[in-house]
Structure 1
């Protein structure tokens, strides 16, 4: 490997290249983990995790580049970049966290809020106020309730008509209204008067009444759109972020792991039993599209279609000796990183099932097809929670679907990274469902 000597003519050019590459890698890693995206309510735990993961990804990418580009990073340069930049990140984030903590504990930064309406929506909103890490301080409800027992049990401060006067006298910053404006003509008047006194008035409609379940609200310009569920991966920026992560990680795995491990496993498979090294089978992908899923062959060659589509069971006589080891350690799944690189799969997602099983399971459970809203994965949220392998009971299928749908509704890049590390941990620890 070549080394750029300190003091040589190429030193300045090398530092320029490495500085440029370093900045690009930091932009990519911070974008992938959303390290600089800070919403209204700063979650300090999430912020710290994102920053730490960004730094680890940055260091990994920089070292990988130096190896692939045939460079030895200058020791002083490496210390300045990794240690110096790490210290800068630590100091800047500590300053931000200190400021946020100060504003949350200092009364002059509190936003006092009240709620018009005493109902299930207002009680849910109150629970959110208490559980969130914001500086909102809930003071009480206003509703036309005559029952004294309710007024004693809950902080009901008065009738709806008293709300504005109370808000002005007690320095209330925001009024949340959970009642329908059609139920009281005074609500619009209260809203207009509140804004004249610099008090923000916010309506909180109970949108679940439209379809009888929880809903997700999105907007096209100013028009609210109701959906049955949240899908973070539906947005183009999220798709780009997940695809970039898949390409980078699968390329690294193919280059540094499979380049030497696959030939070894191929030799073991060929010595153990007759048949091909790789096994390709049609599986159900995103939006119910078929694709050819690659695996290392772990079963003996089959003679009929029924054997080919049957689930692998514990102590299955179709398993080869090497195949049993491959399935136990998940090594048979490694060729699926080629599927990831081709865009047919993702590293993390719902595990793909055989076409026949897709039809069978869809008939058993009506929510089954929802799991195909995203790309199938090499590993998934259901798998690390103990729902992998053979499905013996309908309850196992229901739980697998539940975890797969939860993943679709709650996806973020940090969750993918968490699932990858937990997959490695479960594999090393041993999974009783791996056979």
Structure 2
């Protein structure tokens, strides 16, 4: 017998579509179209908005979606919408309006849509937590460390709107899948969360059949095998499902283009606006204190483990250990001006030249000396994963407290963990956040900046 599932949130997405389209068309009144022209605009822009939003997944927001994800999707949708509006006025030349007016209209629309989207998102969270509405009834099948953590999550994060009604431990002789199924149907359960480790292949098939026949959402918790804890990508070779070990967002051509544009624009701003006048001043100060070149270059490993020369302002006296040993606290090799440059991270600014040449990115895993890279590659698990993307002037590991000298093996292990998280969860918004955090840390001063 089919049991109707409690999809009480089914009206939220259509409502979101209607609200956003209403905002778009309401603000379009300012163009003072004739009635027929307004209808033409309304139809074409509405269709365009819906097509673009489906393509960009703008409305694929769930109760567990992070705010960063919402803002990231909004930026993408904003860029597409601005192009759409300009394309409309470009095609219908007789309706032409000043470019500044079109841009102001687009920005106002997008700001209001984002404000409404975030307001609804937070209001729903408060509604679930304070009033207990908009919730999903769940059960957990199996009892392991992971299911205990999931139960704890449901109980202590009420704003997500999950109410766990029961946990079925199949290792207990008094519990069976039949009793679980009966409970699910009787209590109107919406979602079943199952531990793979606690189930046999036969039980998994039973659960799948039950969920399909009764319109229930079935989800599995990864078992204790490390591979299932990763963020994997599902692909199909014909009808054969294939799991990729990890999905790297930067490998997407559009994301590569966006990140490269971000790198070029920011590097040009720094090179033209800062290095053009700062370099002669620093060159004089560096040469007055010690002999040698103004710039220091050192081989580092970059994308796909390829070597390149990384540039910095010289902060040490010339010495034979420069390419072998890392800088240590109170290192006698550092000059007075060099100490200031390193403390403020100004010595890293010439690396924007590497960024412009495409050897580095503004944000990414920090590159190490070639000798250290070889050493860590042999000693540290997954160290080589960092070379799937371009190295960066700054990175998530550096803004999270793991910059500078590697004092213990734990430092490099945690640095690798943050770097892997970054490459698996990249977004333009994350890059912007890391850049601002880096500037803030430099102004505040860091203990390990020596």
TM-score with structure 2 length normalisation?
0.68
Q: Which residue of 2 aligns with 1:370?
A: 385
Corresponding residue pairs, total: 374
Q: Which residue of 2 aligns with 1:283?
A: 300
| Distance in structure 2 (CA, Å) of the matches to 1:402 and 1:180 | 26
**Aligned equivalent of 1:195, options 212, 223, 233:** 212
**Aligned equivalent of 2:273, options 242, 256, 275:** 256
Q: Which residue of 2 aligns with 1:92?
A: 113
2:220 aligned with 1:204: yes
| Distance in structure 2 (CA, Å) of the matches to 1:286 and 1:159 | 52
The CA RMSD measured in Å over matched residues stands at 4.0
Aligned with 1:313: secondary structure? coil
| Distance in structure 2 (CA, Å) of the matches to 1:299 and 1:378 | 19
| Distance in structure 1 (CA, Å) of the matches to 2:331 and 2:182 | 75
**Aligned equivalent of 1:39, options 50, 53, 61:** 61
Q: Which residue of 1 aligns with 2:180?
A: 163
Distance verdict in 2 for CA 1:425–1:35, change over 3 Å: farther
CA drift of 1:289 comes to: 1.1
CA drift of 1:190 comes to: 5.7
Q: Which residue of 2 aligns with 1:113?
A: 138
Contact 2:140-2:168 within 8 A present in 1 as well? yes
CA drift of 1:385 comes to: 3.3
Contact 1:309-1:356 within 8 A present in 2 as well? yes
| Distance in structure 1 (CA, Å) of the matches to 2:212 and 2:249 | 34
| Distance in structure 2 (CA, Å) of the matches to 1:171 and 1:356 | 61
| Distance in structure 2 (CA, Å) of the matches to 1:413 and 1:359 | 31
Q: Which residue of 2 aligns with 1:141?
A: 167
| Distance in structure 2 (CA, Å) of the matches to 1:320 and 1:129 | 56
Q: Which residue of 1 aligns with 2:360?
A: 345
Distance verdict in 2 for CA 1:328–1:133, change over 3 Å: same
| Distance in structure 2 (CA, Å) of the matches to 1:186 and 1:364 | 42
Contact 2:364-2:389 within 8 A present in 1 as well? yes
Contact 1:44-1:97 within 8 A present in 2 as well? no
Q: Deviations over 1:376-420 (max 9, x none)?
A: 111122323333333344343334334333433443322222221
CA drift of 1:293 comes to: 0.7
Aligned with 1:243: secondary structure? helix
Distance verdict in 2 for CA 1:56–1:268, change over 3 Å: farther
Distance verdict in 2 for CA 1:167–1:399, change over 3 Å: closer
CA drift of 1:333 comes to: 1.1
| Distance in structure 2 (CA, Å) of the matches to 1:195 and 1:217 | 24
2:374 aligned with 1:359: yes
| Distance in structure 2 (CA, Å) of the matches to 1:401 and 1:108 | 41
CA drift of 1:282 comes to: 1.0
2:355 aligned with 1:299: no
Distance verdict in 2 for CA 1:412–1:37, change over 3 Å: farther
Q: Which moved more, 1:370-379 or 1:178-187?
A: 178-187
| Distance in structure 2 (CA, Å) of the matches to 1:218 and 1:51 | 20
Distance verdict in 2 for CA 1:232–1:80, change over 3 Å: closer
Contact 1:282-1:290 within 8 A present in 2 as well? yes
2:285 aligned with 1:268: yes
Q: Deviations over 1:190-223 (max 9, x none)?
A: 64355344x22525264544x5773333211265
CA drift of 1:337 comes to: 0.5
Contact 2:301-2:373 within 8 A present in 1 as well? yes
2:317 aligned with 1:317: no
**Aligned equivalent of 2:147, options 86, 111, 122:** 122
Distance verdict in 2 for CA 1:96–1:262, change over 3 Å: same
Equivalent residues in 2 for 1:65-76 (5 A)?
none
CA drift of 1:290 comes to: 0.3
TM-score with structure 1 length normalisation?
0.71
Distance verdict in 2 for CA 1:53–1:428, change over 3 Å: farther
Distance verdict in 2 for CA 1:325–1:195, change over 3 Å: closer
CA drift of 1:250 comes to: 1.4
